[in-house]
Amino acid sequence: MRRAGALAAKILAALVALLVVVAVVPALLFTRAHAWRTPHPFTGAKVCNPYEATNGAIATTGPGPHWFRANFHTHSSAWEGKQPPCDVVAAYHKLGYEVAEVSDHGVISDTSSCNPEYIPTYEHGANARSVHFTVIDAKAVQPDRYPLWVGLAQKQDTIDRLKSDGSYVVVNHPCHNHGFFPGEFQWLEGYDAVDVQGHFCKDSSFWDSALTAGVAAWCFSGDDVHDVTTPATGARYVYVHAASTSRADVLAALRAGTFVCGFRLDEATEPFVPFPTALTVSAGTISLTIARPAKTIRWIAEGGAILREDRDTDHATFPMGAHSYIRVEAQTGSQRAYFQPVRRCD
């Protein structure tokens, strides 16, 4: 019995040592030194408005620039999904999505044969803490160097590697499995957007942490479904304002922040999306008009503080004041739309 116990103890010690090696050695070998930013709020005499290019008249349909519904985060049978990639794309097109991309884990599922709007996309991350990213316009799949422990330095190193080829990088479901913590977003930089409404995480505090610290990041939202026959399919989306659904136009809009993140209870609920038809800034006053009246329009600033809530209206104004940024959430009975922030800039 003693020999058996001693053997078990040795095996356990060996397993613990192996786990330590797997967790620590990659961090020591691969993590590059990073010149960490100093957190500070947005400053400057100007106000940057991502919707400024629309000239205050955001078309909802018709020729020329208007809103296109898009989803960039869903899975197919190439990873853990139920349907083949082209079936996933077809399901989204049937629901009225003009742009539909498949983001399987660790593999770029090529749907160019069935998807005229194809943009190479995948989900990066195969680690124990669900530190995942959607990589849009990916040139190649980057290996996940940190399978177990992923600290702040490893997260930044991963972002830097994912961005090295010009890809558009979204931080996925930051609250899922405690993969990220809000305080980390005052330091992390270089990514493009933060998921605020996903299947596994519904939390905008991570985004507000970044914005409060002066990190110019956009919001993002995606279904993250693994079976397109479920009611959750079509519940989350981004509405992209672009001249067309071409790869170049969509990517330009994503990089400029000319899009809206949103969700509804499921595809079968209220079809109306409270996206803006005008969002302008003049003489320090933000003026907003949405397509139809919303039950609430919330004006949100540093730390996620709700400054004011307007009810049952399709138009509202708000003074920028001394705030470093202000963002808007518009909510109807079953839908909520997150608008990109208006912020101070040079």
pLDDT in tens, 278-308: 899 999 999 999 988 999 999 999 999 999 9
Q: Does position 61 have pLDDT exceeding 70, yes or no?
A: no
Place of tokens 């797997």: 22
Give pLDDT, residue 15.
44
Band the pLDDT of 66: cuts 50, 70, 90: confident
Domain boundaries, the chain: 46-345
- Please, where are the H alpha helices in 213-262? 247-256
Question: 15: how many CB neighbours lie within 10 A of its CB?
Answer: 10
Token reading at 192: 């493009």
Q: How far apart are CA 233 and CA 89, in angstroms?
A: 12
Query: In whole angstroms, what is the distance from residue 9 CA to residue 162 CA?
Result: 41
Stretch 18-35: mean pLDDT, rounded? 61
Residues 289 and 274: beta-carbon distance below 8 Å:
no
46-345, which class in CATH? alpha beta
Whether the per-residue pLDDT at 144 is higher than 90: the answer is yes
Say if strands 305-319 and 99-100 run parallel, antiparallel, or are unpaired. Answer: unpaired
CA end-to-end distance (rounded Å), the chain: 74
pLDDT averaged over the chain? 89
Question: Is 233 in a helix, a strand, or coil?
Answer: coil
In the predicted model, is pLDDT for residue 16 greater than 80?
A: no
Partners of residue 242 on adjacent β-strands: 66
pLDDT score, position 199: 79
Burial of 75 (0-12, 13-18, 19+ CB in 10 A): buried
Tell me what pLDDT residue 159 has: 97
What integer pLDDT is reported at residue 27 of this predicted model? 55
The answer on pLDDT for 217 being more than 90 is yes
For 158-197, the pLDDT digits (tens) are 999 999 999 999 999 999 999 999 999 999 999 999 999 8
DSSP 177: G
Amino acid found at 303: G
Q: Write down the pTM of the prediction.
A: 0.90
**Residue with more model confidence, 254 or 24:** 254
pLDDT (0 to 100) of residue 57: 53
